[in-house]
Structure 1
């Protein structure tokens, strides 16, 4: 259910600042962004501590986050971060949206649409890079959509893909991530504890695959893991709340 924060009082940032201290002042992850030490030392909002400034930025409506990310590099860094999602949740501003992939009548073009939790269509996403594909998978990691692999029709032939694209839901933009080690489609896929697993599926010649891979968003690298005991193109994954699938 969509939770809307009531108009906050001036004391609101102070009311939850202690709760946020472990989040915004704890260990910092190394993020692959080109930020100089001078830029990192500059305040987010002059006159405010960065902890309080992050709480202020977290109260900005989600629809305005792409514009906020264009203000300066440091604001963009904050909006892209996993920490910012946590800050917004604790501030009562999760604003959960539903992303729906639709196809045209001829099945030749597709586009993503955004719907809020009240069922209102908000907008369409920028076109997804690459050719139209089937048999791909979509997972959500740290508030970002990952569209993984699939099968495309190229020059009249079905071609398995290893492409991986990421949509940043805060910045409203697509980027390309590292390719899978092995092209595949109609595979099983799940996110567990921040890692993305792909298992089985079909390869370039339509053959069943037994290989499995895992993606770590922290390093941006796909790694082969233990394969299935037998080749099986029809495999499913179910993620649990623990550490196993």
Structure 2
């Protein structure tokens, strides 16, 4: 199966700080790929590079087309959704208003607000509540739901389990698994090792801005030296 997203020798910078050091990776349709590594390894920078939010160089192919020169909104319109670590929901707007803002302006997508409420039942119960009054888990569900309303084919999801209670993380894992069953491709940037390995089909580990491991979750579980040097604190 051909890849949706391919990165070949991707470098990225924040000003003079050279963060990504020639990353090669790919994400295929209908799979969850986990991107692991310690803070500062370049995981979030990689997502921002794909979305055109930082200075970058290298080949970034979306369905075979180079998107390196495109602007963020153009990349999003091609089918790439981005859920940043900060979630970026609108706190003074209700759950439903936030979801409506995620809709494609021109045409109706595959996802409706009713679909989002079926996937995330807590949001249905809080539809008229301002986002600032939601729990952390509910805010993460809202960020995911709003991105789905834009009808992505691939979602870049940055640290979704950060700060969430274990039972909420388990609910989140079930939702990601459901999205995969529906054909969604997901690049999951995550710090929680067990959560990532439980849901992922494949894994990349970044260290100092470069890929230091690529393989299956089972292979990473068996690679204790890799985990000790590049992931575990």
Compute the TM-score of the two structures, normalised by the length of structure 2: 0.25
State which structure, 1 or 2, has the greater radius of gyration over its C-alpha atoms. Answer: 1
Between Structure 1 and Structure 2, the one with more helix by share is: 2
